[in-house]
Each structure stands twice: as structure tokens, then as C-alpha cells.
A and B are shown apart, each in its own frame.
Chain A
């Protein structure tokens, strides 16, 4: 798992790696949407993926829990390793991968069921039904939602506010005790207060989980993440369509204060300065 020199792996005493990619690319049909991504995501930290819209952040994130499998025509090349397992090995069961590597989506998407059943769903699927009530409560507490819903566990999840729904989705995800949580712009549909609560929550969760978050919000990336990857789109020689590339990956304060690549600097100063 060598990393090309051009990519700036966090310099000082890099923590153990949770996920790594090598020459990762994603095709949609014939079109290579994301090309040649090589990076190492550190354990028990928050890693942010930033970049202009359409540069392939969501596409990249979906490679880590094999959600691209659901998209007709999507094809992954290169390697994604989790520990020492190649996630795209033929023997790997994507269902098991997703149990270990959970995902929170851009729009809150609770099931049209009660608050309780939303959290219990994954537990039931994975036969983790011993002490079900306790597990549900624990997940809701860790998602900082317990105090809001403890009297209304049987109420429909759809009656919650957007921010509460998103925290419920986080509770549902961590209830099955994953190792890694992927978040695809989890706050983009939320107001600033709800966003703040989710960010606080991420800091809490960071102790137990490795978090990968896609965000289009520079401030959020700067505030909430330990490491950051900047992706952009480039036109490659032959085609006229643009494709996503990884420009720079570094500790977040490094990336924001001393970007190594002029494209990163332009993007950050353009949006941030």
C-alpha cells in the first residue's frame, strides 16, 4: 500500500489506517467519473471530503460500503481495503460490509415506522435482539436524541423535525455497532442549529467510530474534521466530460493553512477567505 509522493499523507506519526484505496476509479457506464484515488483514512478520526459539486465525493464515499453495487452501470476499479481485506474481492459479502461500515445520507430518510422500530430495524436484521430495548435506548442516547424522543418511542419517525430525523438516522446506523460511519452531506438539509448539534455529535462519536464525511461546507470541514481530502474535476485529454480527481489529502489544519496544491488554495480561498 504505497502512496505516491504527490499525495500528502498526514506527516507526523500517522494513526492506524481504517480504510485505504489504491488507484480507485468508478465508471458510470463507459464514463470514468472518478479516477485514480489513492488515500488512507485514519482510524478513529473524522475525515472530510470536500470539493466542487459533481467531483465525485458521493461516488467515492459509496465505494467504501459498496453502495455503488445498487447503481446499474456503476463499476469500480482499483482497490479498497478495510483492515487487510479487499472489499471488492469476490468472496466478500457486501451485506456484511455494510453492517460494519454504516452510512448516513444527505436527506434524512427514516422509515415510515415508529422511532423505536427505526432503530430496532437494523438490530432485528442482524439478530441483535437481546436487550433490544436497551440497545435502542443506548443508540438514541449516543445520537443525542434520547431526551427528545423518550416519551414518544411509538410515535412515527416522520413526525420528528429534520434535525431529529437525521439524528435518528445516525442512531439507527450506530445501533448495529458499525466500525466506520460514512456521512454524505448529513447537514445539507438542516438549519444551522440542527447542523451544530450534528457536528457536536460527530465529535462525540469520533471516540468510538471512524467517520468519513462529505461536505460542501468549508467551514464545516474546517471545524469538524481532523483530516481532509480535496477533490476536483478535470477535463482529461480525450473526452469532453469532466472527471473527479483527488488533489490533496492532509490533516485538516494543514490543508486549510498550507495547501500544497494551487487548486486547493484557490478553492479554499475562493470559498473560505
Chain B
């Protein structure tokens, strides 16, 4: 580039366009930097103002705000652990259910389906993402929950009576439950995980896939040998985005989780989540109760940041490993 410029005779034209290009370049750099800085400023502002609003609750409960298990505003008790637990368990369950489904759909669309089904497949999955979350919530509580209830009851009556298993699948069984929330979340995060993994699978070099096939690999063996190793980082990113999505999901969970602040390993029991309790009770709250709900928001925010950072770390580490093993 520089060599080429140097070969050209130096003239006014060359100098002027150079200056103009420089100016364009530096103003572009300025815009980019300003955008990055303003994002950071907004983040800090949110943390600071939210924390200030939540301060009375933090002051009131101290460390007990995150370790306490009792949340009853009437008794002025604000222990948020049941909500933290509900958020984490419902999101992780959803993730565990959604990941294989999403990878399956992504592989089907990319590797197995006839070429002409590809575009419709992508379109259908994207359509799932376009459904408003309140609709998911209503559908969950009006259709999916009642439909599943007899089967859930049967599971609780059989597997739920076995030793050990009863801790997870035991009754009593409710329409609204951690389980239903996890299922709805699963359906809601499948599109995002699918579309990211699919895009990552698309970047696998064709010659690596050809190499596997030429070695006598079946399609599945090719996927395991060439597609997965190449896509590991991207799949981690997809998982994290899905987890973030699930943790922050509010209205759908609020409608199906059962609004019961308790910590139980029984998935058919009602539970509650941070986002759901904020949505369900913020309107009628005041004073310390209001501050405590805002405090939940701050904790949720912190958790999503931690999840993200952990994910970045894993992604980077698996990146190094991906090249090494």
C-alpha cells in the first residue's frame, strides 16, 4: 500500500485525498470510540442509580439480602435467595433442554435437510423468536400446562415415589411450576441458540468436512470430527446468550412459575424468579419493599455480567484448547 503510494508521482491531488481520507478515518474512529464510551457510561449509570435506589433494602437486610431465604414484605423480611435459586434453576434446566434440541435443529437444517428445506427451516425458527414473550406465558398457563398436567401427575405418582428420585419428581403437583417455567423458557431460547449454532456451523470450512467424508466418515461422524471441534467457541457463546436470555426473561416466567418464594428441589412445585417477582409485585410496592425489588434487579444484573464474563473466559480457554486437542 505505502509502496504503491510512493511510486506515484507526488502531486496536489495525492496530498488532498490523503488529508480527506485521514479526516474521514479519524472522524470514524471518533464515532466508534464515542459509541463505546457511551455504552460504558450508560452501564455505569444504570448500576449507580439502581444501587442508590436499592440502598435502603441493602441497608435494611445487609448480607442477608442475598443469603436470606425468607421474603415477606409484611414482616419486613427481604431474603432474596429463593428468587436467585428460581432464576438459576429454571434457566439452567431450560438450557439443558434447549441445547440438544437447538443443535439438532441447526444440524438438521445445515447438514441433513434437503437444500430446498433450508430457507423455510431457518424462517420457521426465526419466527419462533418473533412471538412476544407474553404470548408464550399465556400459552404456557392456558394450554401447555393443563395439557401436561396429567402426565406430570403420572410421573410424580411413579418415579416421584422412588427413593432419591422423589426429591426431584415428587408431588404435590401444581399447574404452575418450576418445570413449566423451564419448558416455556426452553421454547423461548431454542431460536437464539439454534440460529447462533447454525451460523457457526456454516463457518466450518467445506474442505474439512470433505476431509472427514473422504476418510469414510458417516454424516454424524463428520459432524463430530469436523463440525463440532471447529464450532466449540461459537457453541459456548450460544449457550451464554441463551442463558442470559433465560435469566432475564420476565413476563412469560411470571405467568407460569407459580409465584411462590421457596427453595425446593422438586421441579413440579411452584417457585419464583427475580424477574418474575419484580414484574408481579413492583406495582404495589413502596418503601423498603420497593427498594428490595430494585435490589433484586441489581443482583440479576450482576449475575448476568458474571455469567457473561465466565462465558468469555470459557470461550477463550476452549479456543486455545480447540487448537490444541
Contact = CB atoms under 8 A, between A and B. Distances in A.
Answer whether A and B are interacting partners: yes
Contacts of A95: 216-218
A206 interface: no
A112 B230 contact: yes
Contacts of A110: 211
Contacts of B229: 111-113
Interface stretch (B135-143, B155-163, B202-210, B292-300): B202-210
Nearest to A156: B323
Nearest to B211: A109
B56 interface: no
Contact of B210 (A100, A109, A113, A125): A109
Interface string B206-225: 01101111111110010001
B325 interface: yes
Contacts of A156: 323-324
Interface in A85-125: 95-96, 98-100, 102-103, 105, 107, 109-114, 117, 121-122, 125
Contacts of A67: 210, 213-214
A57 interface: no
Contact of A125 (B205, B217, B322, B324): B217
Contact of B214 (A65, A107, A114, A117): A65
A102 B215 contact: yes
B240 interface: no
A70 B213 contact: yes
Interface residues of A, number: 32
A263 interface: no
Interface stretch (A169-177, A208-216, A252-260): A169-177
Contacts of A102: 214-216
A194 interface: no
User: Which of A72, A95, A99 has the most chain B CB atoms inside 10 A of its CB?
Assistant: A95
A138 to B, nearest CB: 16
A158 B208 contact: no
Contact of A111 (B115, B211, B214, B221): B211
A70 B218 contact: no
Given A95-B216, A176-B216, A114 B210 contact: no
A98 B215 contact: yes
Contacts of A150: none
Contacts of B213: 67, 70, 98
A126 interface: yes
B313 to A, nearest CB: 20
A154 interface: yes
Contact of B215 (A72, A112, A173): A173
B310 to A, nearest CB: 24
A109 B213 CA distance: 12
Interface string A199-241: 0000000000000000000000000000000000000000000
A125 B213 CA distance: 11
B325 A111 contact: no
Interface string A163-183: 000000100110010000000
A113 B325 contact: yes
Contacts of A112: 208, 229-230, 322-323
A117 B323 CA distance: 11
B109 interface: no
Nearest to B115: A72
B89 interface: no
Given A98-B216, A121-B212, A107 B207 contact: yes
A114 B325 contact: yes
Interface in B175-222: 205, 207-208, 210-218, 221
Nearest to A114: B325
Contact of A117 (B207, B217, B218, B325): B325
> Which one of B216, B218, B324 has the highest number of Cβ atoms from chain A below 10 Å of its Cβ?
B216
Nearest to B209: A70
A233 to B, nearest CB: 24
B106 interface: no
A110 B216 CA distance: 15
Interface in B309-325: 322-325
Contacts of A96: 216
B257 interface: no
| B115, B229, B322, B323: residue with the most chain A Cβ atoms closer than 10 Å | B323
B226 interface: yes
Contacts of B212: 111, 121
Contacts of B226: 111
A111 B324 contact: no
A232 to B, nearest CB: 26
Nearest to B230: A112
A22 to B, nearest CB: 24
Given A111-B226, A122-B215, A70 B325 contact: no
Nearest to A159: B323
14 contacts: A67-B210, A99-B216, A105-B211, A109-B208, A109-B211, A114-B324, A122-B215, A122-B216, A122-B217, A125-B215, A154-B324, A156-B323, A172-B215, A176-B215
Given A70-B210, A105-B214, A121-B217, 17 more contacts: A65-B214, A67-B214, A95-B218, A98-B215, A99-B216, A102-B214, A102-B216, A103-B214, A105-B210, A105-B211, A109-B205, A121-B215, A125-B216, A125-B217, A125-B221, A154-B324, A176-B216
Q: Which 8 A-B pairs have the closest CB atoms?
A: A99-B216, A122-B215, A103-B214, A109-B207, A98-B216, A156-B323, A109-B211, A125-B221
